[in-house]
C-alpha cells in the first residue's frame, strides 16, 4: 500500500506530515523543518554540514526487543522521512513546566551550575549531546564525554566547564520525565511501525521512497534505477545544503533492518551495509582493535549514529576512512538485485575516483570480513588537520606477516589520500617480501613510495607533505610491530 505520509512523535504527540498538503520537499532536513514550525527554534543552524553540532537533536527509536534507544544526531544532515516511527526530542522538550515554575532537566541544571555557557548559541546542541549521553547510561569519564561532545564546537565558553557539566549531570543518572512516559512512547511507536508497507512520498517535484524490507528495497531499485540511494544521507545532505544539489528521486534504505545487523560465523563477519558507523566502531574495538585509531576518530558521534558502512564504501572517496582497513582485511562487497547477487573484492569494487562497480538495479547489502589472522600484525593511522571531526589528509592501513626468521612473508600496505582512489603500494609490498623486517629495509622501502604514488597539492596539503608523511607513517608502522614483537 502506498502512503504519502510519515508519522513520528514530537512534543509527546503524534506528528503527521502529509505530502499532498505541504509545499516543502520530502528531502527537507529536520533542521529546516524545526526552524519553520512554531516553538522549536532552539535548534540552531551553525554550519549546515555536520561540523558544529548546534543543530543536535536526539532521536528515540525502538530496538528489536521493543525498548527505546536514544541517539544524538545532527538534524542538518537528516531528511524528514527518516523520522518516521521515531520520537524526535529537541531542546524545548528537556525542561518541564508546572503552573508556577519551569523545572530544568538535570543536564540543563548542570550547565547552569558550572557556568558552561556564554553566548548561548551552541548551548542547545551541547545540552542535547549531553542528554544523549545521559540517556545511554555512559560512564561519565573524560574519554566518553569528549567522544560525546567531539561534534559540538563552542567558540567562547571553553570546554573545561562543559566537561564539568557533563560529569555532574551523568554522575548520578536518575529516572527523568522521559523515563516515566517511555511505556506510552513505546506503544505509540509500535503502532506507527505496525505497517510493513513501503512508503512512497510523492511531491510534484520529488519522489521519496522509504522501503522497510530488503525485498521492497530491491524491487524499488529495479523500478527506479536512476533514483539516488540514501543510506544515512550524511554526504548527500551536505551537498544539498551547500550546493543546492537536487534529486528528483530518492531511494532511502535507512529503515531496512535486515541490512543493519552484524552476523558472526565460524569463518567471517557479515556487516550489513546499513550498519551505523558507531556500531561498526564498537565491532572494530572488539575484533580488530588495531584499526581503532581510524574508527575512534571517524567524524563525530552525531554523524556516526546516522552514517553507515555501506554509505562510506559507496562514496568511494580517496580519503574514505573505512576503505583502507577493509582492503587490508580482504573484505568482499555483496551486492544484490531482484534476480541475482554478486560477491566482489573491495579492491575491484572501487573502480575509480568516487566510482564503484554497482549495476543500476543493484544495492550493496553486506560487507564480508574474514576472521582475523592472529599470526599477523595490523597497523593503522589517520592524519588530519584536527584530531576529531575532520576528514583525512592521508591514512595508512597495513597487515604484515613475519616468518620465524624475521622475514616478511606477506604484506598489504594501503594508503588513502595519495591518489584518486585508496590504493595499495604494490612496489613497496614487492620489495619487502622475503626481506628482513629491519629499520634499514623500511628506510629503503620509503624511497619507493614515489613509484606507487604521485599525489597532488590541494587545499588540504602539498605533494611534498603527503609523501614525507606517508614515509613517516610506514616508519611508525615498523616501530609499532617492533613493540609488539618485543612484548611477546
Determine, yes or no, domain membership for 452: yes
Identify whether 234 is part of a domain.
yes
**pLDDT over threshold 80, residue 359:** yes
Under the banding of pLDDT at 50, 70 and 90, the label for residue 128 is very high
Per the domain annotation, does 98 fall within a domain? no
Which ranges constitute the DSSP H helices of 330-432? 346-349, 426-432
Collapsing DSSP to helix, strand or coil, 200 comes out as strand
Average pLDDT in the chain: 96
Q: Are the beta carbons of 331 and 368 closer than 8 angstroms?
A: yes
pLDDT bucket at 370, cuts 50 / 70 / 90: very high
Report d(CA 339, CA 218) in Å as an integer: 9
Distance, CA of 246 to CA of 150 (rounded, Å): 30
CATH number at residue 446: 3.30.465.10
pLDDT at 139: 84
Per the structure, how many domains does the chain have?
Answer: 3
Q: Please indicate, yes or no, if residue 75 is contained in any of the structural domains.
A: yes
Cell matching residue 432 = 619487502
Is 100 within the bounds of a domain?
no
**Whether residues 384 and 433 fall in one domain:** yes
3-class secondary-structure state, position 114: coil
Give one DSSP letter per residue of 146-177, joined into a string: HHHHTT---SSS-HHHHHHHHHHHHHT----H
pLDDT of residue 1: 45
For the stretch 24-72, pLDDT in tens is 999 999 999 999 999 999 999 999 999 999 999 999 999 999 999 999 9
Picking from 301, 267, 264, the residue whose alpha carbon sits closest to that of residue 281 is: 301
Q: Is the dihedral of CA 96, 102, 103, 109 positive or negative?
A: positive
Q: Identify whether residues 44 and 132 lie together within a single domain.
A: no
Q: Is the pLDDT of residue 233 over 80?
A: yes
Average of pLDDT values for 3-23?
Answer: 95
Structural domain that includes position 191: 5-93+178-252
- The pLDDT of 164-176, averaged and rounded, is 94
Q: Does 241 share its domain with 277?
A: no
In this predicted structure, the answer to whether residue 2 has a pLDDT above a threshold of 80 is no
**Is the pTM above the cut of 0.85?**
yes
Specify the higher pLDDT residue, 300 or 139: 300
- In this structure, is residue 99 part of a structural domain? no
Please give the Cα distance from 447 to 425 (Å, whole number). Answer: 12
- 286 and 390 co-located in one domain: yes
Is pLDDT of 197 > 60? yes
- Residues 418-471 have pLDDT tens digits of 999 999 999 999 999 999 999 999 999 999 999 999 999 998 899 999 999 999
For 406-441, b/e burial (b = at least 16 CB within 10 A) is ebbeebbbbbbbbbebbbbbebbbebbeeeebeeeb
Q: In this structure, what C-alpha cell is assigned to residue 275?
A: 550498519
- Per residue in 289-322, pLDDT tens? 999 999 999 999 999 999 999 999 999 999 999 9
Supply the angle between the helices 159-171 and 123-135 in degrees, to the nearest 10: 30
Q: Let me know: does 174 contact 325? Beta carbons within 8 Å.
A: no
Average pLDDT of span 163-190: 95
User: Distance of CA 488 to CAs 42, 233, 262, Å?
Assistant: 55, 45, 32
DSSP state of 122: S
Amino acid at each position: 500500500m502506498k502512503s504519502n505520509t510519515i508519522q513520528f512523535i514530537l512534543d509527546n504527540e503524534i506528528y503527521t506530515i502529509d505530502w499532498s498538503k505541504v509545499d516543502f520537499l520530502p528531502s527537507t532536513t529536520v533542521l529546516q523543518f524545526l526552524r519553520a514550525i512554531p516553538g522549536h527554534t532552539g535548534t540552531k543552524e551553525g554550519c549546515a554540514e555536520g561540523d558544529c553540532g548546534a543543530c543536535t537533536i536526539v532521536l528515540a527509536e525502538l530496538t528489536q526487543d521493543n525498548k527505546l534507544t536514544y541517539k544524538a544526531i545532527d538534524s542538518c544532515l537528516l531528511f524528514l522521512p527518516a523520522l518516521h516511527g521515531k520520537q524526535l526530542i529537541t531542546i524545548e522538550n528537556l525542561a518541564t513546566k508546572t503552573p508556577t515554575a519551569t523545572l530544568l532537566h538535570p543536564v540543563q541544571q548542570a550547565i547552569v551550575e558550572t557556568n558552561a555557557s556564554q553566548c548561548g548559541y551552541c548551548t542547545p546542541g551541547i545540552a542535547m549531546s549531553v542528554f544523549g549521553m545521559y540517556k545511554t547510561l555512559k560512564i561519565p569519564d573524560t574519554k566518553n564525554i569528549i567522544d560525546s561532545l567531539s561534534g559540538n564546537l563552542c567558540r567562547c565558553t571553553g570546554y573545561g566547564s562543559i566537561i564539568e557539566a557533563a560529569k555532574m549531570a551523568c554522575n548520578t543518572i536518575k529516572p527523568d520525565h522521559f523515563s516515566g512516559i517511555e511505556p506510552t512512547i513505546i506503544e505509540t511507536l509500535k503502532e506507527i511501525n505496525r505497517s510493513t508497507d513501503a512508503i512512497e512520498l510523492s511531491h510534484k517535484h520529488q519522489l521519496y521512497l522509504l522501503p522497510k524490507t530488503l525485498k521492497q528495497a530491491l524491487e524499488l531499485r529495479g523500478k527506479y534505477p536512476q533514483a539516488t540511494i540514501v543510506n544515512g544521507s550524511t554526504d548527500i545532505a551536505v551537498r544539498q545544503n551547500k550546493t543546492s544539489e537536487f534529486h528528483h528521486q530518492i531511494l532511502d534504505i535507512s529503515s531496512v533492518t535486515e541490512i543493519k545487523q552484524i552476523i558472526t560465523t565460524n569463518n567471517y563477519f557479515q556487516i550489513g551495509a546499513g550498519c551505523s558507523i558507531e556500531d561498526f566502531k564498537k565491532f572494530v574495538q572488539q575484533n580488530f582493535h588495531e584499526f581503532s585509531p581510524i574508527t575512534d576518530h571517524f567524524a563525530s558521534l552525531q554523524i556516526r549514529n546516522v552514517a553507515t558502512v555501506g554509505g562510506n564504501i559507496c562514496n568511494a572517496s580517496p580519503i574514505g576512512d573505512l576503505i583502507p582497513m577493509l582492503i587490508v582485511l580482504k573484505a568482499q562487497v555483496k551486492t544484490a538485485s531482484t534476480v541475482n547477487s554478486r560477491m566482489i573484492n573491495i579492491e575491484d569494487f572501487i573502480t575509480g575516483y568516487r566510482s564503484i562497480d554497482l549495476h543500476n538495479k543493484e544495492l550493496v547489502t553486506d560487507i564480508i570480513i574474514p576472521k582475523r589472522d592472529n599470526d599477523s600484525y595490523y597497523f593503522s593511522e589517520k592524519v588530519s588537520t584536527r584530531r576529531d571531526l575532520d576528514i583525512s589528509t592521508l591514512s595508512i592501513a597495513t597487515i604484515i606477516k613475519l616468518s620465524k626468521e624475521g622475514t616478511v612473508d606477506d604484506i598489504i600496505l594501503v594508503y588513502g589520500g595519495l591518489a584518486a582512489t585508496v590504493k595499495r603500494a604494490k612496489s613497496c609490498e614487492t620489495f619487502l617480501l622475503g626481506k628482513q623486517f629491519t629499520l634499514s629495509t623500511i628506510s629503503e622501502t620509503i624511497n619507493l613510495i614515489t613509484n606507487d604514488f604521485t599525489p597532488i597539492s590541494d587545499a588540504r596539503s602539498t605533494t611534498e607533505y603527503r609523501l614525507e608523511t606517508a614515509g613517516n607513517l610506514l616508519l611508525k608502522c615498523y616501530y609499532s610491530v617492533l613493540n609488539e614483537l618485543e612484548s611477546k
